Amino acid sequence: MQITDIQTVVVDAAKAALGTGRRTWMFVEVHTDEGILGIGECSQSRLDQGVALAIEEMKPYYVGKNPLGLIEPSRRQFLANPFASRIRYAAVSGIEQALWDLTGKALGQPVHVLLGGAVRERIQLYANLSQATPSRSPEDLAETAARAVADGFTGVKIYPFPQGAEVAPNRGVALTREERDLAEARIRAVRDAIGPDIALHTDWAWTVTPADAAQMAERLIPYDLFWIEEPFATDDPEEFAALRRQIRPRMAGGEQLSTILPFRQLFEARALDVVMPDVKWIGGISAFREIAHLAAAYDVEVSPHNMSGPVATASSVHLSAVLGNFLTLEYGYAGVPWRDELVAGTEIVEDGTIPLPTAPGLGITWDPAAARRHTIDA
């Protein structure tokens, strides 16, 4: 079997009722002369053109080669340079997932078997509500959260602090009293709607100062937050660690990191309870697994960052199935209405979980025609 072509497809995933910003999903198809197609995802919602160009530049390395046994050599070829950019990491991530998919299909085995075998039969999800709410009012968030719980999810995630157009004048400065009060109102409304037994994840999305983070964490104790995610930039592990020692909820983060060094620095500083690598950005499935194993040495749990399309979700499911320190997997709840078309209805979500896939490769059936019905220029 030989690789004959690599193509990218960018689809418009900005269904979000919020109606703000650009959200795209970018997929990578690896074609072979035996008609087997491997699929990966490297969605950025930005820099798509750069990622597509990087993949085009890499294509001559892959075309003509047997995809089996190519995962590690290609990682060495393109990521050995310590100055490799985020664009390069995203491009490699998409191709690498597609190679795992191809390998599993060629050998007739699910990727989780190739990774050593699953340790759980179902992958626990939590519902990211960001694309499902018509507004960010406390009332709408509460209604959406209650709907997710009724659909079987045992955890939900909201963004309580300024987002989108709200965030520009506030990033890096102290929160106003109104912003503090609104954040608490959102959290209180959601907690009241979901009850005491549902995990309430909060993503602070780098919008507060360290001082505000500590004060707000104390203020929000009555709402029993499951975790606080990315309150501010992770470029100072000691600052993150200091906050972790002050607060009761778990501290989660790391979604934007690619290379192993900043992860190790966070672990050594004891800055995180939960690490959130993203298979689309970190270099793919193999790189993700390396970070997860490193995290285990520091007793850090793993929750894949996954505000993603169905392909990266499938990759994350296989990783979640094999990791002993897996905690829970993010899922974009009630987002793009035609999401299921892309994989011909093979992404199965039952009672807030995804059952262990049994089909070869990533376990999903990619529909190239459906994807191209929703394309958008990179």
Q: Which residues are catalytic?
A: 305
**Whose CA is closest to 20, among 136, 128, 126, 127?**
136
Q: Are 72 and 286 in contact (CB under 8 A)?
A: yes
Distance CA 252, CA 246 (A): 14
Sign (positive or negative) of CA dihedral 197, 139, 329, 238: negative
Q: Are 370 and 344 in contact (CB under 8 A)?
A: yes
Strands 301-302 and 329-332: unpaired
What are the CA-CA distances from residue 52 to residues 8, 36, 151 (Å)? 7, 22, 37
Distance CA 40, CA 30 (A): 8
Strands 301-302 and 250-253: unpaired
**Whose CA is closest to 16, among 311, 336, 374?**
336
Helices (H) and strands (E) in the chain, counts: 13, 12
